[in-house]
Amino acid sequence: MPLLGEEDTKYLRESFAELRADVRVTVVARERSRLVLVGAEPSGDGAEDASAEVKQVIDEVAATSERIKVTHVDAAADAEGAQKLAGAHLPAIVFAADNAKGTLRYFGLPAGYEMSTLIATLMDLGSGEAMVPPEVADELAKLTDPVHVQVFVTPG
Amino acid sequence: MARAAYQLAMSSDKITADVFEAQEFPELAQRYQVRGVPMTLVNEGLPIMGNVGGGRLLQSILATRSSGA
């Protein structure tokens, strides 16, 4: 059963028609069925996470625009790749585009208000444009050390 | 704040913006004592509470430049 309704899909198609650049989205998630097949502990950390829903919702969103390219990384099959992309937390959605210099990741299922954030971020990434005025870009260019921003949200 | 964080991360290769759905990561919510959302941390410093805008976040990010000097 689709997670997005017909109205949502129509809205996304119309919005994403404005995308001027490709957006690369990598979903890092666990294949629960595979975990069971290899005899791993069925319970424990993450066994009940939102991996399946995240994969589905991203696939449904991406299906509304040819500009959105999705790659799936299965943490059960490629633990090293998953770790490199997402660190210690799953499920993760990793965003990239030619106008994105840093690292952008969403952990968990984007629902409710956070779905709007996800759509807005896809629009930003697909705009092909700079997100800050030149004077702010100049200030940011003076950063010499890594900066880790963590934002905690709820579906709301 | 999530979108602002992403926009700033798009603008610098030094910035990583991680957004967490707090209910799905209770151990992180507990570790950082998340009492309300959105709550934003820059390098695990003092939390920025609420939707106070990208300008406030930018200030905190730029302030990291001098903190290590």
pLDDT in tens, B16-49: 999 999 999 999 999 999 989 999 999 999 999 9
> Which of B15, B24, B37 lies at the smallest CB-CB distance from A149?
B15
CATH number for the domain spanning A121: value is: 3.40.30.10
| Exposure letters A14-26 (e unless 16+ CB within 10 A, then b) | ebbeebeebbbbb
B21 and chain A in contact, CB less than 8 A: yes
Question: pTM score, two decimals?
Answer: 0.91
Number of domains in chain B: 1
Residue A134, in any domain of the structure: yes
Number of domains in chain A: 1
A149 and chain B in contact, CB less than 8 A: yes
Given an 8 Å threshold on Cβ–Cβ distance, is A105 in contact with B16? yes
Residue type, A5: G
> Could you count the other beta carbons within 10 Å of the beta carbon of residue A87?
14
- ipTM of the complex, rounded to two decimals: 0.95
Question: Six-digit token pair at A147?
Answer: 């900066």
**Per-residue pLDDT tens digits for A133-144:** 999 999 999 999
